[in-house]
Amino acid sequence: MSDEPLPSLGMKSFEDLKQTNEHGAEFWSARDIQPLLGYDQWRNFEGAIKKAQTSCEQSGNVCDHHFADASKMVRLGSGSERKVTDYHLSRFGCYLIAQNGDPRKPEIAHAQQYFAIQARRQELSDAHAADLERLELRRQASEEFKNLSGAARQAGVRDPMFGVFHDAGYKGMYGGRGQSAIKQRKGIAEKENLMDRMDATELAANQFRMTQAREKLGRDGVKTEQRAILTHEQVGREVRAAIERIGGTLPENILPAEPIKNVEKRLKKARPRLVLDGPDAQGLRGTAGTSDGADAPPSESQPED
């Protein structure tokens, strides 16, 4: 698939014709892009605009946010005036015109391809951001696991009991299920690291559980192994209760995410993606329509984080 810009009109391309309105939003004049899309006569092009407006409404978007009447009176050579119809269009409005244009025109076909590429790039950008978020949360959870392990040692937990201590937190949060039972329920291989298969929501919840357990161990001055284990389980139950109160999905019911190693590999291979500018939903309104942005702890592998 070609990744070329829309065909030029003289020295002007689609992006060159972009303007900015009083709201700071980008827009295009329908009169400016008419020849770029292969239309010689305005009445035919306005027909495509009308179809695009209908499509905009049917898709659940506010038509006025993407198609603004920009008609004006112009003085003729004879001294008289006449009304010239024009529209200010958002990027989404331009996209809809291309989708509703005459498919026999090569310019329309090229425009449809152009906007399809931009939409795909946006999808990839969103996926890229989600990957980065999950990877960062996994890194933070790993650090918090180490911090909690250090606090547990200070609270009296011996090395042979670290597996029991960490499992207690899972049992409290996952309705009595330890790591092995959680993996079995989710269909995760026993040899896999449980946190490596958690999505961003589940990782954030577990990070919160570990943070609160670490702080409670210190705040309560816990100094015995059994009390430390019970404290961790209690915190897990409290986090589970909070999830239930707000109507969230219980952690054992969250589907496993793809292995984190796959995410790391994908991010290493990823090239910078184009993110479309501006608040798309508001279109021509820009932001005007938006409402009020010691001892070393045990290794991560034994016991598993």
Residue 279 lies in a domain: no
Q: Choose the final residue of a domain: 46, 70, 102.
A: 102
Q: Choose the final residue of a domain: 53, 87, 102.
A: 102
Residue 303 lies in a domain: no
Same domain, 136 and 21: no
Q: Would you give per-residue pLDDT tens digits along the chain (305 residues)?
A: 344 444 444 446 788 899 999 888 899 999 999 998 999 999 999 999 999 999 889 888 889 999 999 988 877 777 778 889 999 999 889 989 998 888 888 888 888 878 877 776 676 677 888 888 899 999 999 999 999 999 999 999 999 999 999 999 999 999 999 999 999 999 999 999 999 999 999 999 999 999 999 999 999 999 999 999 999 999 999 999 999 999 999 999 999 999 999 999 988 886 543 333 445 556 567 665 554 444 444 444 446 66
Q: Choose the final residue of a domain: 67, 102, 137.
A: 102
Residue 285 lies in a domain: no
How many structural domains compose the chain? 2
Same domain, 130 and 216: yes
Same domain, 85 and 138: no
Q: Is 300 exposed, middle or buried (0-12, 13-18, 19+ CB in 10 A)?
A: middle
Residue 293 lies in a domain: no
Cβ within 8 Å of residue 73, ≥6 positions away: 81, 82, 83, 84
The values of phi and psi at residue 89, to 5°, are -120, 140
Same domain, 171 and 243: yes
Same domain, 237 and 153: yes
> For residues 53 and 35, is the Cβ–Cβ distance under 8 A?
no
Same domain, 168 and 203: yes
Same domain, 55 and 148: no
Name the residue range of residue 130's domain: 126-257
Cβ within 8 Å of residue 135, ≥6 positions away: 260, 263, 264, 267
Residue 270 lies in a domain: no
Residue 229 lies in a domain: yes
Number of helical H runs and strand E runs in the chain: 9, 6
Same domain, 88 and 131: no
What predicted TM-score, i.e. pTM, was given to this entire model? 0.56
Same domain, 138 and 25: no
Same domain, 73 and 184: no
Same domain, 218 and 250: yes
